[in-house]
Amino acid sequence: MRTFKALSALLTYPSEDLQAAIPAIREVLDAEALVHLGQRLALEPLLESLEAGDIYDLQERYVLLFDRSRTLSLNLFEHIHGESRDRGGAMVDLLETYRAGGFDLTGPELPDHLPVLLEYLSTRPLAEAKEILADAGHIIAVLAERLSRRETPYAAVLTALAVLAQAGTDSAEAEAMLAEADDDPEDLEALDAVYEEAQVTFAPDPNAGCPISRDILARMDVPKTPASAGTAQ
């Protein structure tokens, strides 16, 4: 389902390519209707801001949310394995799953990066995609809750994914995650202290304001300019 690619693109670092692709992304969401109407309407504030907002403001907002807050990290295994050795093993297993499905990573993204997972799911049968998404459902539901607390339009993407995964925050795992205090992205000293303790366990971290949306949009075949607008493949 191209819907998973569309949602993947919405969670990547904002770029002019992404801005130009918003009409095509909206068209995919409406045509497939995998995300129901109410949730598509909830996505509109994000779609509109990405389409018409100042690119530097959009990038700053993204960095504050996803780069400077580990509790909002889009690297899923960060929330269950942290920087332990278990995370590296889990990512190797996930990478092998991708390769077995004929899906190869071509950019710097980690295998557990949510936009990457969503792009992979777009290549799988819907039932299988939902089952895989459900495995990460409690993490996605927690991210949706945390983003909703911050009143950011990105919450609508995670909420839509939580619904597709049939996941909520009432599990023991989700409750444990929510018990952790949210990071303050403005407290750079505290965040520096946290990252000094972290170890790189698999590959360069893409969550440093890296414009990965260019690679994902290219793989989506989404147009890069309004003049060549079409639909995502």
Long-range contacts formed by 130-133: CB under 8 A, 24+ apart: 130/164, 130/165, 130/166, 133/161, 133/164, 133/165
Cα separation, 222 vs 128, in Å, equals 24
pLDDT for 204 beyond 80: no
Strand, coil or helix: 29:
helix
Say how far apart CA 135 and CA 170 lie, in whole Å. 15
Which residues lie across from 113 on neighbouring strands?
A: 75
Res 82: pLDDT: 53
In this prediction the pTM is 0.79
Reported as a single tens digit per residue, the pLDDT across 40-97 is: 999 999 999 999 999 999 999 999 999 888 899 999 988 875 555 666 677 788 889 9
